């Protein structure tokens, strides 16, 4: 099998592996197949950390071997500042867009507004321990796997085959699409994920560094955790 065929197959393999592993863990503990009762959440977290950790190490090794990525230059203080400033600018822009659109669509009807933006198929648990596990997964695990998959494997697979704009569009649309239906429930949320993915793409390309994209992604998901705490407290 030629080298050209190996890369697409590896990308497909890791996409499927991520779906199977995450879906399998959720199914196993949701059905309580191991009869763990109250300890189920802790064991779910441990199993997730171990499985995702092994997957990430394997993915990183294959990605390095296949694409031989080279960071344009070593990280400097200005790069960290750039990521944080980018995060603040993106969040401020999102706030303005959401505020303007929501005031036009719903006025002061907070119930409809919250339902539109934060309605989810997943419920926010009242158990602080379980919530802490979910938050850690959202802030640490998801950025590692998603950035390596999208800005790493898929982006570098397309590099040299299509121009940068097409590459950015494909990666960003697919990134937003995979968040259906757990996190995206309407068109404006899809647009937010699409724009977020474009920003992550540009941040990655600036230095060709996954670290920069992972850091920005973690900051973004950290805000989601804060919203999950504050929104129910303020509106319900």
> In angstroms, rounded to a whole number, what is the distance separating the alpha carbons of residues 194 and 171?
9
Residue 2: both structure tokens together: 């030629």
CA angle 195, 155, 192 (to 5 degrees): 10
- Residues contacting residue 66 through CB under 8 Å, at least 6 positions apart: 6, 7, 10
Q: Which tokens hold the place of 11?
A: 């990308």
Task: For residue 181, say if its preceding peptide bond is cis, omega within 30 degrees of 0.
Answer: yes
Q: What is the pTM of this model?
A: 0.82
- The reported pLDDT for the residue numbered 63 is 95
- What are the distances in angstroms from CA 126 to CA 12, 22, 115? 37, 23, 19
Degrees to nearest 5, angle at CA 90 with 126 and 71 = 105
- Tens-digit pLDDT profile for the chain (236 aa)? 445 658 999 999 999 999 999 888 888 877 766 666 667 777 777 888 899 899 999 999 999 999 998 898 899 999 999 999 998 888 777 777 666 666 655 555 555 555 554 554 445 555 566 676 677 778 888 999 999 999 999 999 999 999 999 999 999 999 999 988 777 777 777 888 898 899 999 999 999 999 999 999 999 888 766 655 544 444 44
Check residue 60 and give left, alpha or beta (phi > 0: left; psi -120 to 50: alpha). Answer: alpha
pLDDT confidence of residue 29: 75
Q: Please, are residues 149 and 179 in contact by the beta-carbon 8 Å criterion?
A: no
Amino acid 207: pLDDT: 95
* 3-class secondary structure per residue, the chain: CCHHHHHHHHHHHHHHHHHHHHHHHHHHHHCCCCCCHHHHHHHHHHHHHHHHHHHHHHHHHHHHHHHCCCCCCCCCHHHHHHHHHHHHHHHHHHHHHHHHHHHHHHCCCHHHHHHHHHCCCCCCCCCHHHHHHHHHHHHHHHHHHHHHHHHHHHHHHHECCECHHHHHHHHHHHHHHCCCCCCCCCHHHHHHHHHHHHHHHHHHHHHCCHHHHHHHHHHHHHHHHHHHHHHHHHHC
The answer to whether the beta carbons of residues 207 and 72 sit under 8 Å apart is yes
- Give the CA diameter of the chain: 61
The structure tokens 């497909």 sit at 12
Per domain, the residue ranges of the chain are 72-235
């Amino acid at each position: 099998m030629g080298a050209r065929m190996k890369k697409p197959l590896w990308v497909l393999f890791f996409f499927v592996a991520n779906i199977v592993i995450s879906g399998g863990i959720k199914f196993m503990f949701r059905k309580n197949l191991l009869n763990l009762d109250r300890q189920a959440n802790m064991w779910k977290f441990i199993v997730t950390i171990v499985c995702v950790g092994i997957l990430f190490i394997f993915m990183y090794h294959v990605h390095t071997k296949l694409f031989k990525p080279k960071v344009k230059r070593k990280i400097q203080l200005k790069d960290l500042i750039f990521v944080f400033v980018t995060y603040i600018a993106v969040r401020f822009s999102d706030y303005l867009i959401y505020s303007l659109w929501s005031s036009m669509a719903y006025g002061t009807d907070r119930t409809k507004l919250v339902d539109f933006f934060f309605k989810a198929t997943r419920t926010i648990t009242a158990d602080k321990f379980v919530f802490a596990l979910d938050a850690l997964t959202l802030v640490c695990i998801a950025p590692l796997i998603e950035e390596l998959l999208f800005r790493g494997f898929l982006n570098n697979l397309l590099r040299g085959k299509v121009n940068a704009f097409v590459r950015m569009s494909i990666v960003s649309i697919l990134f937003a699409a995979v968040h259906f239906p757990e996190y995206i429930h309407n068109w404006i949320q899809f647009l937010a994920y699409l724009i977020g993915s474009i920003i992550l793409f540009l941040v990655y390309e600036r230095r060709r560094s996954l670290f920069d994209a992972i850091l920005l992604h973690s900051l973004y998901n950290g805000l989601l955790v804060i919203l999950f705490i504050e929104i129910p407290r303020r509106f319900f």
